[in-house]
Amino acid sequence: MAEPIILAIPKGRILSEALPLLARVGIVPEAAFSDENSRALRFATNRPDIAIIRVRAFDVATFVAHGAAQIGIVGSDVLMEFDYSELYAPVDLDIGHCRLSIAEPAAMAASDDPREWSHVRVATKYPYLTRKHFEARGVQAECVKLNGAMEIAPELGLAGRIVDLVSSGKTLKENGLVEVEVITQVSARLIVNRAAFKTRAETVVPLVEAFRAAVGQAHAA
């Protein structure tokens, strides 16, 4: 029997929304998959030909791009930041909706006008997207790369502003920040390793179609 197809899914905000989608596709992970406290990384499913790995969002794209996983679910923010040529993103899954935004301390925002920016120092885990956005406006952006805890950067003087994902805005508010500009809207995408799309077509192609149909069912409901 061939090795199972590996489906990579990110920890965090997308995971809970992905579970009903997986169910519509006919994939049911073992119970431990839903336990955020579990340290396991690989999980069986009700299908012997499909296994799931649960990793960080940025790592989903890396695993799939390099063929260690054949298929995955990841935010469009990750795809835009890294632009992997080895990835095919055939389906917008219509989950994981949020936005990539610029935020700054509320006190600064009270008298700040983004149209007057010429140079900014920004804490972010999206340096490529951040620079690209500001370059298009003729603004020089100095990016400080962080992988988390972005919201504390302005208070500690690391950077005056941040660029990060925003959903409800609650985390920004709790840290005295306000959203001042949206860079792009984000949603989760199904991604496929281009080589696997050909070499494992007998499993991968029907899976892609099943995800596409499941999204259609959700829209029709």
Q: Cβ–Cβ contacts within 10 Å for residue 201, how many? A: 11
Q: Is it the case that residue 219 has pLDDT exceeding 80? A: no
Q: Is it the case that residue 25 has pLDDT exceeding 70? A: yes
Q: Is it the case that residue 58 has pLDDT exceeding 80? A: yes
How do residues 147-165 score in pLDDT, each as one tens digit? 989 999 999 999 999 999 9
Print burial letters for 75-95: b (CB count within 10 Å at least 16), e (below 16): bbbbbbbbebeebbbebebbb
Predicted pLDDT at 221: 62
In the block, residue with structure tokens 């119970």: 31
Q: What CA–CA distance (Å, rounded) separates 46 from 102?
A: 42
Which residues of the chain are in CATH 3.40.190.10 domains?
5-96+187-220, 98-185
How do residues 178-206 score in pLDDT, each as one tens digit? 999 999 999 999 999 999 999 999 999 99
How do residues 1-13 score in pLDDT, each as one tens digit? 578 999 999 988 8
Distances (CA, A) of 31 to 22, 28, 84: 14, 9, 32
pTM above 0.85, yes or no: yes
Predicted pLDDT at 39: 85
Predicted pLDDT at 12: 82
Domain 98-185 has CATH 3.40.190.10: yes
Predicted pLDDT at 178: 96
Predicted pLDDT at 148: 87
Residues near 106 by beta carbon (within 8 Å), at least 6 away in sequence = 176, 177, 178
Q: What CA–CA distance (Å, rounded) separates 13 from 153?
A: 22
Predicted pLDDT at 1: 56
Q: Is it the case that residue 171 has pLDDT exceeding 80? A: yes
Q: Is it the case that residue 115 has pLDDT exceeding 80? A: yes
Q: State phi, psi for 170 to the nearest 5 degrees.
A: -65, -45
Predicted pLDDT at 129: 96
Query: Exposed (0-12), middle (13-18) or buried (19+): which is 197, by Cβ within 10 Å?
Result: middle
Print burial letters for 144-180: b (CB count within 10 Å at least 16), e (below 16): eebeeebbebbeeeebbbbbbbbeeeeebeebebbbe
Residues near 109 by beta carbon (within 8 Å), at least 6 away in sequence = 178, 180
Contact indicator for 159, 123 with CB cutoff of 8 Å? yes
Task: Give the homologous superfamily in CATH for domain 5-96+187-220.
Answer: Periplasmic binding protein-like II (3.40.190.10)
